[in-house]
Amino acid sequence: MSAALACGVDVGGTKILGGVVDESGEIVEEVRVVSPATDPDAITAAIITVVSELKQRRRLSHVGVGAAGYIDKTRSTVLFAPNIAWRDVDLKAMIEKEVELPVVIENDANAAAWGEFVFGAGADVDDLLLVTVGTGVGGGFVLDGELYRGAFGVGAEIGHMRVVPGGVLCGCGNRGCLEQYASGSALVRDVRTAAQAGSLLAAGLLDRAGGDPQAITGPLVTEAARDGDPFAVEALANLGTWLGEGIASLAAVLDPAVVAIGGGVADADELLLDPTRAAFNAQLTGRGHRPALEIRKASLGNRAGLIGAADLARR
């Protein structure tokens, strides 16, 4: 009997990535289309197109869709999506009607956390916290081998834990959320501000950006830091400090064995992870008198959500 193949779909702001995933977490087929992010009906149609194309190539058992937003407890309805105009949309029913396969809808960070837990950085433990550091800060928890979703399905939104009362305004409408200090967007905002103000410290980065502060990006900062630019190194360290302090607060509540750091900014490797670990160790409650968790880089890259969504659907 052949191994069960499931389809995973990762719905992003710029692309929709679909893949056929086997029981060992390997992607055996993949399709990518541009995401029409401003049109929710077009996004739904694009998801259906991706699944239908993969269904023609392989015999599929289930479909898992990872989407950024609040997903209800039944893993059917997108209650709210911050970057897509989905509001109380029964996405499961819409997709199932067209593709004629069982469908599970999951929060994208939850799906990525499950992927890392089963096949990646958390495969050797029972309790994992995944922190994704990209445009925002996302998260997912696996506790005692089970994905934690909360009473209403909308738990683990760690990027919106308030760390600075009255702080920077967040896209969620509140002020002082962790993602306003520990995300790739925060990194770029702060570096651009320094460059625009004429800071001599930012001169090297500004040169790399052709003299245009708006051309400074996260990958450019990481590249400069790898080349030894002191201001870029400091900027990543500042972000890591916020991240480590946030993880220390979460560890006081959750006590995971491993924290995996994923997302685009994690490509900075130890330039981000070392200051994150230092800040975590300095702020952890009961430090020196409790077992220390391990902070690792996530290992599945930007395919974690796709792989996790497929596996969740199959289960």
Q: Give me the residues paired with residue 89 across strands.
A: 78
Q: For position 292, what pLDDT does the model report?
A: 85
Whether residue 226 is contained in a domain is answered as: yes
- The parent domain of residue 255 ranges over 124-298
Q: What's the rounded Cα separation, in Å, for the pair 158 and 137?
A: 7
What total of structural domains would you count in the chain?
2
**Among the listed ranges 17-26, 69-78, 238-247, which one has the minimum average pLDDT value?**
69-78
Structure tokens at 80: 């709210």
Q: What's the rounded Cα separation, in Å, for the pair 27 and 71?
A: 25
Q: What's the rounded Cα separation, in Å, for the pair 207 and 47?
A: 41
106 and 136 share one domain: no
Q: For position 305, what pLDDT does the model report?
A: 95
Average per-residue pLDDT in the chain? 94
Residues 6+ positions from 79 with CB-CB distance below 8 Å = 69, 70, 71, 72, 87, 88, 153, 154
Q: What is the CATH number of the domain that holds 135?
A: 3.30.420.40
Helix or strand or coil: residue 241?
Answer: helix
**Among the listed ranges 3-12, 15-24, 206-215, 237-246, which one has the minimum average pLDDT value?**
3-12
Q: What is the pTM of this model?
A: 0.92
226 and 287 share one domain: yes
108 and 167 share one domain: no
- Could you tell me if 263 and 300 are in contact, meaning their C-beta atoms sit under 8 angstroms apart? no
252 and 133 share one domain: yes
Whether residue 308 is contained in a domain is answered as: yes
Q: Tokens 């049109």, residue?
A: 39
82 and 164 share one domain: no
Question: Over 60: is that where the pLDDT of 2 sits?
Answer: no
Q: Tokens 């600075």, residue?
A: 164
Whether residue 109 is contained in a domain is answered as: yes
Helix or strand or coil: residue 123?
Answer: coil
154 and 275 share one domain: yes
88 and 229 share one domain: no
Question: Over 70: is that where the pLDDT of 1 sits?
Answer: no
Kindly state the average pLDDT of the residues 6-18. Answer: 90
Kindly state the average pLDDT of the residues 169-175. Answer: 90
Question: Residues of the chain with pLDDT > 90: what percent?
Answer: 86
171 and 286 share one domain: yes
Q: What's the rounded Cα separation, in Å, for the pair 184 and 264?
A: 8
68 and 27 share one domain: yes
174 and 37 share one domain: no
- Could you tell me if 306 and 26 are in contact, meaning their C-beta atoms sit under 8 angstroms apart? no
Q: For position 40, what pLDDT does the model report?
A: 86
